[in-house]
Amino acid sequence: MSERVALVTGGSSGIGEQTALRLQRAGFTTYAVARRVDRMKPLEDAGVTTFAMDLTDDPSITAGVDRLVEEQRRIDVLVNNAGYGSYGAVENVPIDEARRQFEVNVFGLARLTQLVTPLMRDQGAGRIINISSIGGKFYEPLGAWYHATKFALEGFSDSLRLELAPYGIGVVVIEPGPILSEWSEIAGDSLVGSSRGTPYERQAEGVRRRFEKSYRPMIASGPDVVADKIVKAATVAHPRPRYPVGRGAGSILAARRVLPDRAFDAVVSRLYA
């Protein structure tokens, strides 16, 4: 068998960067893509091939897959990690911003999946690993658009898993809890700024305080923890359909399963007050 080939999106920092490094160490010929190539210099130094890809631009996605096919003639693992969280009241968030979040978190991911699937099907094997979130199972105030993308990704992945199983292609969902990264600070600052002077200003401060409490050492996990789980999902013979990962992820998802909606609403409302 030829050396296995992996493609990781969102490789410029955090989970994507750590995943690319670990896949490279695990013996994969690894490609990492992101919009900003300059931030992937550490990956290049480690032997990972990097280039630019913008998931909101179809020619960019197509050109990237064409390059990989030309250079490697195969792809064994696709890690759909790129994504972002844009928070704000549904009343206030411009629809263009909501569309952009879906373009990155759902449609760009789906387009890349479309393009690599024929190659995996011809190989008779492959693995698609979609990075969702515990936010694909629970919800927060002022996070409607972000959570909508992650709920959509969960359903997309479940259907895709059944669709591709006859061709030897596995589909796995990774559901991280709070992870130490710049994500929470950027999302919180943007939320407070966009909510200032609106009826949602007080709620926005509550959400930012919850972010500050949840995304800190001893509470949140490092991106390496998620990366290790992704490598496991990429290499085990029979991966589970989904892997919650990180401190508190399993507990939060368990609470969502057992608590009635009204009870869960009350818990979330108190946490984000």
Provide the 3-class DSSP secondary structure of residue 33.
strand
31, 87, 139, 146: the catalytic one is: 146
Instruction: Let me know: does 247 contact 221? Beta carbons within 8 Å.
Output: yes
130-158 mean pLDDT = 96
pLDDT tens column, 75-113: 999 999 999 988 999 999 999 999 999 999 999 999 999
Name beta bridge partners: 131: 174
pTM of the model: 0.94
CA 23 vs. chain centroid, Å, equals 17
Alpha carbons 155 and 32: distance in angstroms, whole number: 26
pLDDT tens column, 24-73: 999 999 999 999 999 999 999 999 999 999 999 999 999 999 999 999 99
Q: Write down the mean pLDDT value for the chain.
A: 94
> Which pLDDT does position 2 carry in this prediction?
59
For residue 80, the surrounding DSSP H or E stretch is strand 77-80
Residue with more model confidence, 233 or 212? 233
- State percent of the chain over pLDDT 90: 87
pLDDT tens column, 172-196: 999 999 998 877 888 888 899 889 9
Q: Parallel, antiparallel, or unpaired for β 5-9 and 77-80?
A: parallel
- The CATH code of the domain at 5-271 is 3.40.50.720
Instruction: Let me know: does 18 contact 227? Beta carbons within 8 Å.
Output: yes
pLDDT tens column, 69-83: 999 999 999 999 999
- State percent of the chain over pLDDT 70: 99
Domain boundaries, the chain: 5-271
> Which pLDDT does position 1 carry in this prediction?
43
Two tokens at 83?
A: 């994504």
> Active site includes 146?
yes
Neighbouring residues of 102: CB distance < 8 A, sequence distance ≥ 6: 145, 148, 149, 152
